[in-house]
Amino acid sequence: MQRTRVGNVEVVSLLDFTYTFKPEGVYPGAADQVAAYPHYLDTDGQVLMPCNSFLLRADGRTVLVDTGMGPESDGQLMTELSEAGVRPDEVDQVIFTHLHGDHTGWNLDRASGQPLFPRARYLVPRGDWDHYRGREPAGRSFVRDVAPLETLGCMDLVEGDHTLTPSLVTLHTPGHTPGHLSVLVESAGERACILGDVMLTPIDIEHPEWTSPFDGDHAVAEATRRAMLDRLATERSLVGAAHLPAPGFGRIVRVEARHSWRAGVE
């Protein structure tokens, strides 16, 4: 758990779980070059990918971005939230950057089937809802974590530039999934971006052209990644990224034509 401020908005990173993947599983076309990034690998040379959620307190509202892997993976999101001093019933909105199962795991209480955030509206990207709802066979996490939100009457579909609060607005950042959203924070002259899976590792920032099987549409994902790298470097935004090294805070730095990741909140 790490807390920072962006203008008048409080931004808290909450770590649920950490994956490891073989380099060839993340970058099949460039696996032999991954060893050049030892600080993002574990001692066996596997790529480390944490699952960070972000809590935003803005304009009197409490917004949770993504709900992690869930209890089956021994996820720690609810413990982290408690350590941040936030009760589940204080959350007004849960918003998903996208509907992959590592971002929706703590939506519902497994025993009762009821929402774990009982007062919250759950905001679902319309492009992902349309994409995953029609799948045959339906995805396991979609059936378990997402579809029931509609029946429970706590779900709203959102797309494009959707205003969450005066300081928080969504931005369509497709490619990883069709409806993928990022959340832009702007307050008192400061900016941040909760980026979801636009960049999966810091290596993506140096090599936006390396394709990963995790991205649904490689060409669109690369175009979005390049556009966001330019924008975030130009705006000097703080970035909060789901799978970059915990707590997932940092900035995009541009030197000549190349971008790189500078971890931290400064």
Binding site for Zn ion (CB under 5 A): 100, 102, 197
Task: Return d(Cα 21, Cα 229) in angstroms, integer.
Answer: 24
Spatial neighbors of 135 by CB under 8 A, at least 6 apart, are 142
Task: Return d(Cα 221, Cα 212) in angstroms, integer.
Answer: 10
Decide whether 167 or 201 has the Cβ nearer to Zn ion. Answer: 201
Task: Return d(Cα 152, Cα 59) in angstroms, integer.
Answer: 27
Decide whether 174 or 186 has the Cβ nearer to Zn ion. Answer: 174
| 76-142-107-124 Cα dihedral, nearest 10 degrees | 120
Token pair of 244, please?
A: 């970059």
Q: If we measure between CA atoms, which residue out of 7, 3, 149 comes closest to residue 80?
A: 3
Find the shortest distance in angstroms from Cβ 165 to Zn ion. Answer: 24
Token pair of 106, please?
A: 């703590």
Task: Return d(Cα 119, Cα 97) in angstroms, integer.
Answer: 20
Find the shortest distance in angstroms from Cβ 102 to Zn ion. Answer: 5
Find the shortest distance in angstroms from Cβ 14 to Zn ion. Answer: 14
Decide whether 98 or 207 has the Cβ nearer to Zn ion. Answer: 98
Task: Return d(Cα 173, Cα 133) in angstroms, integer.
Answer: 20
Decide whether 197 or 215 has the Cβ nearer to Zn ion. Answer: 197
Decide whether 9 or 95 has the Cβ nearer to Zn ion. Answer: 95
Decide whether 93 or 104 has the Cβ nearer to Zn ion. Answer: 104
Find the shortest distance in angstroms from Cβ 215 to Zn ion. Answer: 10
Task: Return d(Cα 33, Cα 152) in angstroms, integer.
Answer: 47
Find the shortest distance in angstroms from Cβ 114 to Zn ion. Answer: 25
Helix and strand numbers, DSSP H then E, in the chain: 7, 14
